[in-house]
Amino acid sequence: MSGDKAVRLGAIVVIAATNTKNEPRDTAGSSLPTENDGLVAGPLACVEIAGRSAAERTVERLRKADVDFISVLITSDCASSLPAFRTRWDNVQTLIVQDVGCAISQILADYSQNGIAYTFVTWADTYLETDLLDLFYFHRESRQTVTRAFDGDAPLALWTVDCAKAQSLPIEQLLHGRTAAPYFVRGYMQRLSAPGVLRQFAEDALRGRCEARPCGKEIRPGIWVDDGGEIQRGARIVAPAYIGGRSKILSDVLITRFSSIERDCFVDCGTVIENSSILAGTHIGIWLDVCHAVVSGNRMLSLERDVMVAISDPSLMRSIGSARVLPPATSEPDRGQAVVVEAPREQHPMAPVWQFGANFIQE
Taking CB under 8 A as the rule, does residue 206 contact another protein?
Answer: no
Q: Which of residues 277-296 bind another protein (CB under 8 A)?
A: 287-291
Extended beta strands in 101-211, E state: 116-123, 126-128, 146-151, 154-162, 181-184, 189-191
Site for another protein in 228-287 (CB under 8 A): 287
- Residue in 66, 252, 313, 332 binding another protein, rule: CB under 8 A: 313
State the nearest-atom distance from the C-beta of 318 to another protein, in Å.
13
Could you give the CA distance from residue 138 to residue 135 in angstroms, rounded to a whole number? Answer: 5
Q: Tell whether residue 89 is a contact of another protein (CB under 8 A).
A: no
Tell me the torsion sign for CA atoms 32, 36, 40, 42: positive
Q: Judged by CB under 8 A, which of 55, 78, 311, 339 binds another protein?
A: 311
- Identity of the residue, 184 or 356, whose beta carbon is nearer to another protein in the bound complex: 356
Q: Please name which of 18, 81, 50, 56 lies closest in space to residue 198, comparing C-alpha atoms.
A: 50
Candidates 95, 49, 41; CA nearest to 72 is 95
Burial class of residue 362 (count of CB atoms within 10 Å of its CB; 0-12, 13-18, 19+): exposed
Q: Which of 315, 319, 331, 347 binds another protein (CB under 8 A)?
A: 315
The piece of 70-78, 85-93, 137-145, 302-310 that touches another protein (CB under 8 A) is 302-310
Q: Which of the stretches 54-62, 181-189, 312-320, 333-341 binds another protein when contact is defined by CB under 8 A?
A: 312-320
Side-chain-side CA neighbours of 69 within 13 Å: the count stands at 14
For the segment 318-357, give every residue that binds another protein (CB under 8 A).
355-357
Min dist CB 17 to another protein, Å, is 26
User: Do strands 307-310 and 299-302 pair parallel, antiparallel, or not at all (unpaired)?
Assistant: antiparallel
Q: Is 13 in the site for another protein (CB under 8 A)?
A: no
Instruction: Give the separation between CA 269 and CA 236, rounded to whole angstroms.
Output: 11
| Three-class secondary structure of residue 237 per DSSP | strand
**Based on CB atoms, which residue is closest to another protein, 4 or 306?**
306
Chain positions contacting another protein, by CB under 8 A: 287-291, 300, 302, 305-307, 309, 311-313, 315-316, 355-359
